[in-house]
Amino acid sequence: MSKALVFVEVHKNAIKRSSLELLQFAKKSNLSVSAFMYGSSAPGLTEKAAQNGADEIHLFNSSTFDKYNSDLFQKAFLKVYEQTTPQFVLASASSIGNDLFPKVAAQLGVGVATDCTNLEIDGGTIKARKPLYSGKCTAEVTFASEKSSIVVMRANQLPVEEVSYNSSPKVITHSIDESGLRTLIKDIVKGTSEKLDLTEANIIVSGGRGLKEAGNFKLLQDLADVLGASVGASRAVVDAGWVPHNMQVGQTGKTVAPSLYIAVGVSGAIQHLAGMTGSKVIVAINTDPNAPIFQKATYGIVGDALEIVPKLTEEFKKAMS
Amino acid sequence: MKIFVCLKQVPDTEAKIKIKPDKSGIDPTGVKWVVNPYDEHAIEEAVKLREKNPGAQVWALSLGPKQRVVESLRTALAMGADEAIVINTDQDLDSQSTAKALAHVLRNEGAFDLILTGKLGIDDNQSSVTQMLSQFLECPHVNVVSKIQIEEGKALVERDIEGGSKELIEIPLPCVLGANKGLNMPRYASLPGIMKAKKKVIKEIELSSLGLTLNKLTTFSNFELPAEKPPVKFLTGDSSAQSIQLVQLLRDEAKVL
């Protein structure tokens, strides 16, 4: 049986949805599944990982792992890699996954495909597909190395179901020499938003120039709060300084693929469309019926965002209660 | 202080992408090539650091078909880089081979204090070369950087992570840092800068002359355009009626609520 090693991330004392996607996918693909888990909250989550498909768990429970350090994580991951010799390494396209796995691939001399949106594993063969040019097209990725293939998957691309694969996981606790790390994390400054990052959000409400001024983003916040959504923005309003860059959706911002994307007062420049056309359902609200955003939208409302958004918020409030 | 900026030439963000009939890649006809937007932030930061550190030097390095890639290097020179090198090849390299070739040339060029890159190329979105350079050059890295402060023998940097949070990291020099958009505002090249850049001799290195074995570990194939979306369904009535309809459709038809 082919082996997969899944990098499992934890956020607020729970395994991230994106990691559950990978565990379940690996199990459903009939692989023998090893999970790499780390940090002080990980010991309490091994059972959850087992339920979701992990046959074996490699655990680094030192609190040093609570903050990401590339040298530390690389060293730890390599140790488990050598012990498990997996054919497939699966990770999520998070700030850690994106940083760590290209480096691990370079060290091992094996191929890595990042930001993938499709994945199939059949026996020993793997097929991944990823968007290029921020989704203006996609391509299949094939791997040359016999040794291993590393795939870093975008969040929300694979299903998560209620499952209970294993009840008592085999847990192997590791420790490594934590000295000699070249970089030092001095502090972490928390962002103002407690919400999910745009790249992981299931619903996004996004605003552009049609909101007329920075203060009107408040209307989107209210709508997003009702929907449990994260708030994004077009490049125009980021460049105008209305909102910070981490909210930008598009080719020079974040590429997103939520279930629902509501574009408010966004005209739909090609580089914005590139960043969000992967969304399952797109709602566009714009005063101009010829705005390019409507070519990508599922549902369109021609009208003034400032008038419609508060009404929508009210309607959603009724529907969600 | 010697700073290298590794930059990539990519299709303009406004470019419409067409696929070759055999689906082996994109059709480059009519594509306008530009400096990868994140790499512009790397160039700007390098030039700003040189302005603060008299005697410092900024070198721009790129890899690809020299006929077009030199144009991006001239942009870097016009923005203020001192020297430029192109590694000439028509081969379509994967991230690891690219990083290997860049690392090889960087080593040959002698001691460096800092290597700046963009956090990712907006073409393949691999976000890999920064970290791979760090691996091959055996010096540390931080990617997705929005602030750099150089001190004696080290840098203090801010790295952007999820949800608008930032990690404050201390990293010794030499190191590799990958620029995010918030790092700075890239300058427009001045006219004298552009004139000077035109006359500059760009050093050319043939990839084949480096004697590297570059195995392609990943290959992109079977390119496809996204499926055409069905036409938009416009909602009618006044804003109250539209709101009620939309919520119903999202709940009952699209089933995303």
Question: What tens digit of pLDDT does each residue of B56-84 get?
Answer: 999 999 999 999 999 999 999 999 999 99
Q: How far is B200 from chain A (nearest CA, A)?
A: 30
> Residue B225 in 3-state DSSP?
coil
Q: How confident is the model at residue B163 (pLDDT cuts 50, 70, 90)?
A: confident
Q: What is the mean pLDDT of residues B34-40?
A: 97
Cβ contact B168–A141 (<8 Å): no
Q: What is the mean pLDDT of residues A128-157?
A: 92
- Over residues B106-140, the pLDDT tens digits come to 999 999 999 999 999 999 999 999 999 999 999 99
pLDDT of B76 reads 98
Q: Is B153 on the interface with A (CB under 8 A)?
A: no
Q: Is B21 on the interface with A (CB under 8 A)?
A: no
Predicted-assembly ipTM surpassing the 0.85 threshold: yes
Contacts of B188 (CB under 8 A, 6+ apart): none
- Terminal Cα distance for chain A, rounded: 48
Q: How confident is the model at residue A1 (pLDDT cuts 50, 70, 90)?
A: confident
Q: How far is A210 from chain B (nearest CA, A)?
A: 16
Q: How far apart are CA A164 and CA A175, in angstroms?
A: 29
Question: Which chain A residues are Cβ-neighbours of B130 within 8 angstroms?
Answer: 102
Q: Is B59 on the interface with A (CB under 8 A)?
A: no
Q: How confident is the model at residue B257 (pLDDT cuts 50, 70, 90)?
A: confident
Cβ contact B164–A192 (<8 Å): yes
Q: Show the beta-strand stretches assigned E in B40-192.
A: 57-64, 83-88, 114-118, 141-151, 154-160, 166-172, 175-179
Using only the alpha carbons of chain B, give its radius of gyration. Answer: 22
Question: Which chain A residues are Cβ-neighbours of B224 within 8 angstroms?
Answer: 137-139
Q: Return mean pLDDT, chain B.
A: 96
Q: How far is B117 from chain A (nearest CA, A)?
A: 14
Is the pLDDT reported for residue A192 higher than 80?
no
Within 13 A of B204's CA, how many CA atoms are on the CB side? 12
Contacts of A76 (CB under 8 A, 6+ apart): A36, A38, A60, A65, A174, A176
- Of A6, A10, A22, which is closest to residue A158 (Cα–Cα)? A22
- Over residues A213-223, the pLDDT tens digits come to 999 999 999 99
Cβ contact B125–A248 (<8 Å): no
Tokens 């909102």 found at: A243
pLDDT of A146 reads 80
pLDDT of B222 reads 97
Q: Does B37 sit behind a cis peptide bond, omega within 30 degrees of 0 on the bond before it?
A: no
- Of A70, A6, A11, which is closest to residue A39 (Cα–Cα)? A11
- Under 8 Å CB pairs connecting chains A and B tally to 271
CB atoms inside a 10 Å sphere around CB A144:
14
Substitution target in A182, A261, A306 with the highest count of B β-carbons within 10 Å is A182
Q: Is B227 on the interface with A (CB under 8 A)?
A: no
Q: How far apart are CA A130 and CA A154, in angstroms?
A: 9
Is the pLDDT reported for residue A193 higher than 80?
no
Substitution target in A71, A129, A298, A314 with the highest count of B β-carbons within 10 Å is A298
Q: How far apart are CA B248 and CA B241, in angstroms?
A: 11
Chain B nearest-CA residue for A309: B243
Question: Which chain B residues are Cβ-neighbours of A283 within 8 angstroms?
Answer: 246, 250
pLDDT of B248 reads 96
Give the type of residue at A297.
A
- Of A22, A36, A143, A38, which is closest to residue A84 (Cα–Cα)? A36
- Of B82, B10, B85, B65, which is closest to residue B40 (Cα–Cα)? B10
- Over residues A6-64, the pLDDT tens digits come to 999 999 899 999 999 999 999 999 999 999 999 999 999 999 999 999 999 999 999 99
Q: Show the beta-strand stretches assigned E in chain A.
A: 3-7, 10-11, 14-15, 32-38, 56-60, 88-92, 111-116, 118-122, 125-132, 137-143, 149-153, 170-174, 184-189, 203-207, 230-233, 260-264, 281-286, 299-302
Cβ contact A192–B169 (<8 Å): no
Is the pLDDT reported for residue B86 higher than 90?
yes
Of A109, A138, A319, the CB nearest to B251: A319
- Over residues A143-187, the pLDDT tens digits come to 997 889 999 999 989 999 999 999 888 999 999 999 999 999 999
Question: Which chain B residues are Cβ-neighbours of A200 within 8 angstroms?
Answer: 162
Q: Which residue has the higher pLDDT, B227 or B210?
A: B210
Cβ contact B218–A142 (<8 Å): yes
Q: How confident is the model at residue A138 (pLDDT cuts 50, 70, 90)?
A: very high
pTM score, whole prediction: 0.93
Substitution target in A132, A143, A313 with the highest count of B β-carbons within 10 Å is A132
> Residue B69 in 3-state DSSP?
helix
Give the type of residue at A47.
E
Q: How far apart are CA A5 and CA A11, in angstroms?
A: 20
